[in-house]
Structure 1
Amino acid sequence: MTQAVHVLPGADPGRFDDHLWVRLRLIEQRVREAVAARRAVDPDPDDPYRGQYLTPEAVERILDESPASGSVTGEPATPPPGSVLHELAAAFGLSPLDVELLLVAMAPDLDARFERLYGYLNDDLTRRRPTVGLALELCGLPAASAARFRLAPSAPLVAGGLVEIGEPERPQLSRALRVPDRVTAHLLGNEEPDGRLLGLLCVQHGRTAHLDLDAAHDDDSHRVAAAARTGGGLVHLLDRGGDAGRLAVGSLLAAGRRPLVLDVPAFVAQTATAAHVPLGHLPRVVATEARLSGGGIVLGPLEALEPERPERAMLLRELCAAAEGVPLITYGRKGWDPLWAAESPVRITVSPPSPEQGARQWRRALTEAAETIGAAHPAPDDELAGTLAVYRLDSGQVRRAATVATRVAALAGRTVTAADLRDAVRAQNGAGLERLARRIEPAVGWDDLVLPPATRHQLGELALRARHREQVLGQWRMRPGGGRGRGVIALFAGESGTGKTMSAEVIAADLGMELYVVDLSTVVDKYVGETEKNLERIFVEASEVNGVLLFDEADAIFGKRSQVKDAHDRHANVESAYLLQRMESFDGIAVLTTNLRANLDEAFTRRLDVIAEFPMPDVRQRRALWDRCLGTELPRDEALDLDFCAERFELAGGSIRACAVTAAYLAADSGRPLGMAQVVTAILQEYRKLGRLVLETEFGPWLDEAQRNPTRP
């Protein structure tokens, strides 16, 4: 019997695929026939208590029924090419029978009439979704046929997430079938991501042109896209200082796919908190979303997933298995462990961008930020290259920093300056390293240093190396092989108070970075192996921030290896050997300071890029230090003789600064301008603090007066 096709009540025919609607009408016809067949043999089809009891007549009727019932015969029709059902079948590997079963299960979500009809056919009006047995019946198949295994957990419908089978406590034929809302919405033309992935996915829209890829990165994106199309689609980007996340997104866009970027912390957290949900549930939902949207999955960085932990490795394995055949691009600084998944990925190394590429990236981000808030355009590319080449940021950090700098400049009514950009970059540093080291925001500059020309030259070389390390060590590969990093390591050697720590602060200020001082009390541990673990955490966190790492009094942990006489010597040597290897693979900027250079292991010297000697200041330098430490705001007595202080007292810069502060307190207490009495008294106190002899030949006529209380008239 042929019926005319008409639109279901309340439906919008413009949103439906024509073939989908035709197939749904066929399902409706089969349901009509099944209902009519039931009523024909039911002695009381209008019984209001149907489903709540069985009469003796009903028992006899059930026993007389043939177990191979079915009203429809013939092979299911194949969806025509170009239809939404054809595309769905191709994406999930569905057979024509799978499509029929899917439509039977989805019918109540498209037309509410099917709910009551299914309830009647289930002999239970409270069960308004088709069961496995009813679905097979409506497809004209006996319950005992092999077709029932098209709804097994490993079958495409269930494994692909298109159909969910509930009520596992029931017999298989009585279990209800349900189609997720996302699948129904997809067939109706809605491409909003699955609501179950809210907060877990960042869906990237647009085309490759929006990323403004340069030629080199465009070639890389096509290479990654080609690798994602082969085999199982698994690709791992080994990040060696580049922007692997942006490359992964660009590769999928270049391949015409919709990138689905997973928020790794949220993904792990939701999987861990949903204890009642099977481990593979979320990975299967993500894979289903990728197949429905014709997209690919981006997962990274892998360090955040911590795949070394067994439960995290299992989560990664489940995702790789669920997304087989779907482009899945992972990235991170970690190499891929074959134990993480049954399939091994194609590994592609992502190199850092050149200074020119970095400048273009900043220009693009600043221009977009300026257009968004209607601000003035930023500085030209050459100025950006000089200001920002030292920083190592991914595209997300660049975009956020550019937005912050542009907003700050707009509030001040000016264009973006180098200082705005540096402050914005420092704001991108995470708090991980602050828990392990003391953060210092630099407040001094080159003019605040009083050092010999040779030392200043060595400090300038350190800043130069830090500024151009990506070009020299990255592009020109001047430090290849051996697992060597692209870090810059310097040693500041000199007596206490000669300006080593202050110089490290000046270097950080010159580079627009923050200074992180390692607290050795939190590093050194009496238990074997714990010191190395603490140092490893510091090095890992330091590589994530744009900052200068300072190991003050470094000879405490970078000391010489000695002859092994007991277990303590062996442990100390192992600790030193670890540091030798770790410093060589470090990718950041580190400064070691020591009062006794001879205490450092000679093997460290070879791994140092710059060694700056900090000698005791001479007379001229001491005179400049006195003048600088006393500042310009402190009132001075006309009789104050700083030349006398510089010539007579051989003090380091730190001691001179301490004397200046003490003298200022004495002057404040006296209520008079700073005079020689207060200065010499402060020097006398510093001598006693240092344990030095107080000689009359040094203090001259001021000794007696300094020994009296100069704070009162």
Structure 2
Amino acid sequence: MKKNDKAARNARLSLVGGNVPAAAETVEGYRSSLEHLTDELERLELRLRLQLVLEDKTFPGNGLPALPFLEGHLPTFPEGEAEVSPETDAGHFSQELARLTRRIAQKVEASHQSGIKLPLPRLSQQLKLKPLEEDILIACLAPELDRRFEAMYAYLQDDLTSRSPTVDILLRLFTSTEEERAAARLIFDKASPLMRVLMDTAGEWKDSRIPLLAKPLKLENWTVNHLLGFQMLDERLLEAAELCFPHLEPQPAAASLLAGTAEDIVRFVRYYSTKETIPHHLFYCCGPDGAEAVNAIKAACISLERPLLMVNTDSLPILDGDYTQLLGLLGRHTLLDDTVLCLVGFDSLTAEGEGDRSRRRIKPLLEMLCSCAPLAFIVGESSWSQQLPDREMNFIQIDLTPPNEQHRLTMWEHYSRDYTLLPQIDLTEFTDKFRFTPGQIRAALRNGENLAVWKGSGAAESLDGSPAPIGEKELYESCYLQSGRSLQALATKVKPFYSWDMLVLPTDQTDQLREICRQMKHRALVYGRWGFDKRLSLGKGMNVMFAGPPGVGKTMAAEVIAGELSLELYKIDVSQIVSKYIGETEKNLSRIFKEAETSNAILFFDEADALFGKRTEVKDAHDRYANVETSYLLQKMEEYTGIVILATNLSQNLDEAFLRRLHARVEFPFPEKPQREAIWRGMFPKDAPLDANLDYAFMADKLNLAGGSIKNIALNAAFFAAHEGSPIGMRHIMLAAKREYIKQGKTFLKTDYDPYDKLMEV
């Protein structure tokens, strides 16, 4: 057959559903995507068989296998007729094709009216696909569902090895004129939605040496699953994302501080759903408890009956190529699966501030959200302001403030119902000491039970499946595990050892220390139930200065306070905080205060005058930034709600701004003779062997030293006695005292220590 004749016949037999009058009939909609696709594949086979007729390839005896769902549709011919007219065959297939096209359209509409969402029509609507692109999509889907279509394509292409549809065969199937054929080439451009979103464009498709008409097409595996009605995560996203279905999962009853936030989100989204133009919504949830924010988002998804795509931005690759590709995959999931997108760990993308690298990451992310995510959430800890692309998008920042004392107590009481706590545990005490988020409270109780079972306190009870009882010690240990890990990189954790009876100070100083403890113990009452927190925006913590010469008990007093309050004590290493690089000192300070906040840890800055010295006159850039560091530290001290202790040997060197912000100032005097004797008597452990003739009055009178030096002498004397195998006596004390004086550069004259000076000569 001549080419012009074939083109004319193609035009004459153009497949338009309206060519055949439609009989009025009532049809039921498709119940599943598979039912719909089965009819679409039947329609595709009719097109293929029609194409075989038009290309003079379907005559009796050609051996072409029939596909099962066309049984009864093939034409019958009078008995004895040797040859079948191609015109008769083509007319039959055209009529059947028009009938089936009309029937599919009616059933799709019926499904839509009954609320059944078929993937193919919805995908076509979201991507704005033309009918020709839908036909191409079905043609590429066919060999994925039935491999016998591969034989059809190979036969039509006169190449048994070409078993996938090429651009050429698709244009021959679905276009009628050369003009249509030329215009349809744009469908296969890499920027078209069909190729960019749905097709696998690896392999031969990237080879520029292969003509476009000869290139085979293949759907991505995700596209096939989507068309079949499966909501599955693309395998390339498995390391960074998780697909959740909160509205289909059983929800246990739970208290949530953010239940009202979830209701606000739903109300906001539903309000705009009534508008003709529905903008995209981006919510930025900012606060310390990302887990609780996610719970609120899941609660909103339950009400909206939407799946949730959780993405951990920490797991997204750094390389721009992979990063951009994964953003495209996330956008495809969100748009075509009608999924709510939630990005957690967002601070990892903004950690570099306003640098070029950060902008290169955030800009394509926002472009994807604007184009593909009707409803998206970003969860981060720090505030974030970003210029959104010039598109219609609602941006709402939700500030998730840390729960106050009353809310924390409510959470402790609620979540502890699932555990067995020993009667002596006072949840109010834990509420005040640990400024935990709901997620941290749940983790503390769970780990507390683990510790109880592991240490044996609850092992017997747990064997029958009942909860193991959690003791106060286990719960404290579990709470400390929730915080302080990062703090240890910049500070030394000090385990409180000393008690009140070991601390020798004048009565006034001891009373001051006890007042500090009492104030911290009654914080929940005064700030919470009495409402004083509403009168103070800053300065709710305790900033205390311990001033005095070395060895007078400043560190010991800090340990006593930590032990009394059952709080962790961190001694700040100033050398690791101060950095010569601009801005690094502030970052270190921020990390310290942020990590200490959750556990209400005591921050002990020893030799604070080195870090908290007076601000200097600005003579150069270094002076300016040194003053910035000092001001930043003042700000963090005011914001901190725990105890900050500044220990200094020279209080006169401290900046006046620090002194104004102090809540208490405790002067540690050099011990007088009565205090020194008390220190000597309390220095030796009860198990240490002591000579009965130890002269405490003489030691207190003649050895005019501070407590730190007395401790050194007592310890060295013990080693002298241990070497000799005798009790600790005055000779050992005097030998150790001589060594201590020499170490400090002081004069040690034997004649000043009569009558014990002769003991050192033996």
> Where does structure 2 lack aligned partners over 5 or more consecutive residues?
1-14, 18-29, 65-95, 273-278, 459-468
Distance change >3 Å, CA 691–CA 241, structure 1 → 2:
farther
Which of 115, 135, 148 is equivalent to 1:113?
Answer: 148
Distance change >3 Å, CA 327–CA 685, structure 1 → 2:
same
> Where does structure 1 lack aligned partners over 5 or more consecutive residues?
3-12, 48-70, 371-376
* Aligned match of 1:104: 139
* Aligned match of 1:180: 220
Check conservation: 1:201, 1:260, Cα contact below 8 A.
yes
Distance change >3 Å, CA 398–CA 533, structure 1 → 2:
closer
* Aligned match of 2:401: 351
Distance 1:292 1:469 in 2: 52
Distance 2:55 2:542 in 1: 83
Q: Secondary structure at the match of 2:57?
A: helix
Distance change >3 Å, CA 574–CA 280, structure 1 → 2:
closer
Compute the displacement of 1:630 (Å): 1.4
Distance 2:599 2:174 in 1: 61
* Aligned match of 1:266: 315
Letter in 2 for 1:180: E
Greater displacement, 601-610 / 100-109: 100-109
Compute the displacement of 1:223 (Å): 1.6
* Aligned match of 1:27: 44
Distance change >3 Å, CA 388–CA 238, structure 1 → 2:
same
* Aligned match of 1:296: 340
Compute the displacement of 1:665 (Å): 0.8
Check conservation: 2:616, 2:627, Cα contact below 8 A.
yes
Distance 1:498 1:525 in 2: 30
Distance change >3 Å, CA 380–CA 413, structure 1 → 2:
closer
Distance 2:63 2:38 in 1: 31
1:436-475 superposed matches below 5 A: 436-445=490-499, 448-460=502-514, 462-463=516-517
Check conservation: 2:597, 2:642, Cα contact below 8 A.
yes
Deviations 1:431-454 (A, max 9, x none): 543333333344455555444454
* Aligned match of 2:548: 494
Distance change >3 Å, CA 202–CA 174, structure 1 → 2:
same
Distance 1:157 1:656 in 2: 84
1:690 is the counterpart of 2:725: no
Greater displacement, 253-262 / 492-501: 253-262
Deviations 1:632-684 (A, max 9, x none): 22111222233543455443332222122111111111211112222233234
1:257 is the counterpart of 2:306: yes
Compute the displacement of 1:385 (Å): 3.2
Which of 501, 515, 530 is equivalent to 2:569?
Answer: 515
1:425 is the counterpart of 2:479: yes
Greater displacement, 423-432 / 670-679: 423-432
1:708 is the counterpart of 2:761: yes
Letter in 2 for 1:519: D
Q: Secondary structure at the match of 1:407?
A: helix
Distance 1:215 1:404 in 2: 21
Check conservation: 2:408, 2:436, Cα contact below 8 A.
no
Letter in 2 for 1:387: F
Distance 2:335 2:506 in 1: 67
Check conservation: 2:33, 2:118, Cα contact below 8 A.
no
1:244 is the counterpart of 2:284: no
1:628-643 superposed matches below 5 A: 628-643=682-697
**Which structure has the larger Rg over C-alpha atoms?**
2
Compute the displacement of 1:284 (Å): 2.3
Deviations 1:269-306 (A, max 9, x none): xx225x654x3211222233344554322223332223
Distance 1:543 1:181 in 2: 48
Compute the displacement of 1:552 (Å): 1.5
* Aligned match of 2:364: 318
Letter in 1 for 2:381: R
1:658 is the counterpart of 2:704: no
Percent identical among aligned pairs is 31
Distance change >3 Å, CA 573–CA 338, structure 1 → 2:
closer
1:408 is the counterpart of 2:474: no
Compute the displacement of 1:361 (Å): 3.5
Check conservation: 1:227, 1:233, Cα contact below 8 A.
no
1:612 is the counterpart of 2:666: yes
Distance 2:444 2:190 in 1: 47
Check conservation: 2:167, 2:214, Cα contact below 8 A.
yes
1:74-93 superposed matches below 5 A: 77=105, 80-81=111-112, 82-85=116-119, 88-89=122-123, 92=126
Greater displacement, 602-611 / 238-247: 238-247
Distance change >3 Å, CA 653–CA 581, structure 1 → 2:
same
Check conservation: 2:136, 2:170, Cα contact below 8 A.
yes
Distance 2:325 2:187 in 1: 20
Deviations 1:395-430 (A, max 9, x none): 554444333221121231331122212222333347
Compute the displacement of 1:101 (Å): 4.0
Greater displacement, 459-468 / 633-642: 459-468
Distance 1:702 1:298 in 2: 78
Please report the RMSD computed on the Cα atoms of aligned residues, expressed in angstroms.
4.3
Check conservation: 1:514, 1:547, Cα contact below 8 A.
yes
Compute the displacement of 1:600 (Å): 0.6
Distance 1:600 1:26 in 2: 87
Compute the displacement of 1:347 (Å): 0.8
Letter in 2 for 1:314: R
* Aligned match of 2:6: none
Distance 1:418 1:567 in 2: 52
Q: Secondary structure at the match of 1:272?
A: coil
Deviations 1:237-273 (A, max 9, x none): 1216784344344443443333332223212xxx225
Q: Secondary structure at the match of 1:233?
A: strand
1:576-587 superposed matches below 5 A: 576-586=630-640
Compute the displacement of 1:559 (Å): 0.6
Letter in 1 for 2:49: R
Distance 1:515 1:200 in 2: 37
Compute the displacement of 1:463 (Å): 5.0
Letter in 2 for 1:188: L
1:592 is the counterpart of 2:592: no
1:282 is the counterpart of 2:326: yes
Distance 1:282 1:327 in 2: 18
Check conservation: 2:153, 2:165, Cα contact below 8 A.
yes
Distance 1:92 1:130 in 2: 25
Distance 1:131 1:636 in 2: 99
Compute the displacement of 1:114 (Å): 2.6
Distance change >3 Å, CA 131–CA 595, structure 1 → 2:
farther
Distance 1:154 1:468 in 2: 66
1:198 is the counterpart of 2:238: yes
Distance change >3 Å, CA 474–CA 224, structure 1 → 2:
farther
Letter in 1 for 2:262: S
Distance change >3 Å, CA 163–CA 650, structure 1 → 2:
same
Check conservation: 1:19, 1:83, Cα contact below 8 A.
no
Distance 1:619 1:340 in 2: 72
Q: Secondary structure at the match of 2:743?
A: helix
Check conservation: 1:246, 1:395, Cα contact below 8 A.
no
* Aligned match of 1:7: none
Distance change >3 Å, CA 96–CA 83, structure 1 → 2:
farther
* Aligned match of 2:433: 390
Letter in 1 for 2:729: G
Letter in 2 for 1:590: V
